[in-house]
């Protein structure tokens, strides 16, 4: 069966254009045009992925994301991936979207080819997550941080932390080589399946969102290079 995508955008011209392109690419597409309609449609059709505009009537895309990522609608361990569309290239707005459960974002105006590529990359990560969940559980421990790759669960000092699929994959990649600095370009290739460095800001935004959930001191920045997961429980500037 074709993957099912829910497109949520209040501007009908944009909504229809995105939906038509995704259908042409072989996806099964549902559409919604406001916040309440998005949540209702999501509950009814259970899509494999949501393309979600931030600015919506009724209530905004951030609230939509919170509601569809709640455990009753999107049970752990693999919440539905959300590609957020935003008209503002503002880091604070982007981090809020990532904090409420979005996995990736595109800033308007965007190219349809790039949107399709992001959708496919997100769905590949979902497939990879399902494959890992079917394997015997592997445990990665870095200090008081525990990552269970089979169950896709993370605990910090014994307390479970809920991550988006992208945040989880990013953390696993860092936890595989604790203390080693991974360049942004390597993280893009390994986590996002992107072959070039055009999205290094995406890495930075997701690292900031991950830090907010597991503790900022656990991820060390090497400016101009990349990031490393640290075992030492000390703060870094």
Tens digits of residue pLDDT in 149-199: 877 889 999 999 988 878 888 999 999 999 999 999 899 888 877 766 555
Looking at residue 125, what is its pLDDT?
75
For range 125-131, the mean pLDDT: 69
The structure tokens listed for 105 are 């974002």
CB–CB of 31/19 below 8 Å?
A: yes
Tens digits of residue pLDDT in 213-232: 999 999 999 998 999 999 85
Rounded CA-CA distance 189/5 in Å is: 24
Q: What is the mean pLDDT of the chain?
A: 86
Rounded CA-CA distance 85/94 in Å is: 10
Tens digits of residue pLDDT in 73-97: 655 456 788 999 988 766 677 777 8
The structure tokens listed for 115 are 């949107």
């Amino acid at each position: 069966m074709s993957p099912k995508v829910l497109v949520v955008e209040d501007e009908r011209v944009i909504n229809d254009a995105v939906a038509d392109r995704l259908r042409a690419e072989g996806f099964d597409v549902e559409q919604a045009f406001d916040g309440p309609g998005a949540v209702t449609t999501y509950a009814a059709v259970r899509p494999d992925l949501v393309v979600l505009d931030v600015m919506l009537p009724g209530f905004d895309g951030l609230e939509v994301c919170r509601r569809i990522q709640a455990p009753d609608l999107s049970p752990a361990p693999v919440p539905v991936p959300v590609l957020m569309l935003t008209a503002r290239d503002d880091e604070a707005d982007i981090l809020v979207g990532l904090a409420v459960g979005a996995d990736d974002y595109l800033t308007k105006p965007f190219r349809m080819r790039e949107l399709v590529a992001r959708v496919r990359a997100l769905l590949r990560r979902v497939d990879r997550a399902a494959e890992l969940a079917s394997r015997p559980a592997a445990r990665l421990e870095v200090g008081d941080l525990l990552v269970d790759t089979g169950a896709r669960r993370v605990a910090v000092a014994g307390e479970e932390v809920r991550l988006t699929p992208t945040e989880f994959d990013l953390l696993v990649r860092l936890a595989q080589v604790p203390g080693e600095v991974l360049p942004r370009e390597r993280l893009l290739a390994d986590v996002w399946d992107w072959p070039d460095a055009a999205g290094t800001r995406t890495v930075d935004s997701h690292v900031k969102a991950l830090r907010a959930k597991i503790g900022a001191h656990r991820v060390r920045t090497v400016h101009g290079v990349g990031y490393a997961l640290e075992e030492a429980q000390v703060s870094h500037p």
